[in-house]
Amino acid sequence: MKFFHNPRCSKSRQTLELLTEQGIKPAIVEYLITPPSKEELQSILDKLGITPRALMRQGQAEYKDNNLNDPALSNEQLIQAMIDNPILIERPILITKNKAAIGRPPKLVLDIL
């Protein structure tokens, strides 16, 4: 299992604590330091069953500053924006072999275990 984590995010910390309480020790990826590749991000989107825009933190300044609300932008352009600005990626995300879940609220990650 892989856990996309931002230690400064309370939901991310709460989700990691919940996993630890369950005896689960996923590989932790601080995605702001080590952003996912294009292929990895596409795989996450596929496992979540959502579009790139649905994975984006639309309240971030980077979202507004880069006009990412433009409906003409392709999925590929939105994925590239998340790679270039990983702060845009919603967090936390737990990834198993075939599934993924966003920990908002934290207990949602338990659904894929």
pTM of the model: 0.94
Residue closest to 26 by CA, chosen among 96, 74, 84, 81: 96
Q: What is the pLDDT of residue 44?
A: 97
Question: What is the span of the domain harbouring residue 51?
Answer: 2-112
Q: What is the pLDDT of residue 10?
A: 96
93/3 Cα distance (integer angstroms): 6
Q: What is the pLDDT of residue 63?
A: 98
From 1, 9, 24, 83, active-site residue? 9
96/10 Cα distance (integer angstroms): 22
Q: What is the pLDDT of residue 97?
A: 92
Contact criterion met (CB below 8 Å) for 90 and 104: yes
Q: What is the CATH number of the domain that holds 60?
A: 3.40.30.10
Q: Quote the number of domains for the chain.
A: 1
Write the pLDDT tens digit of every residue in 5-46. Answer: 999 999 999 999 999 999 999 999 999 999 999 999 999 999
Q: What is the pLDDT of residue 112?
A: 96
DSSP 8-state secondary structure symbol assigned to residue 68: T
14/80 Cα distance (integer angstroms): 28
Q: What is the pLDDT of residue 19?
A: 97
Is 65 considered catalytic here?
Answer: no
Residue closest to 63 by CA, chosen among 49, 46, 43, 78: 78
Write the pLDDT tens digit of every residue in 83-111. Answer: 999 999 999 999 999 999 999 999 999 99
The tokens of 21 are what?
Answer: 């309480």
DSSP secondary structure of 23-53: T--PEEEETTTSPPPHHHHHHHHHHHT--TG
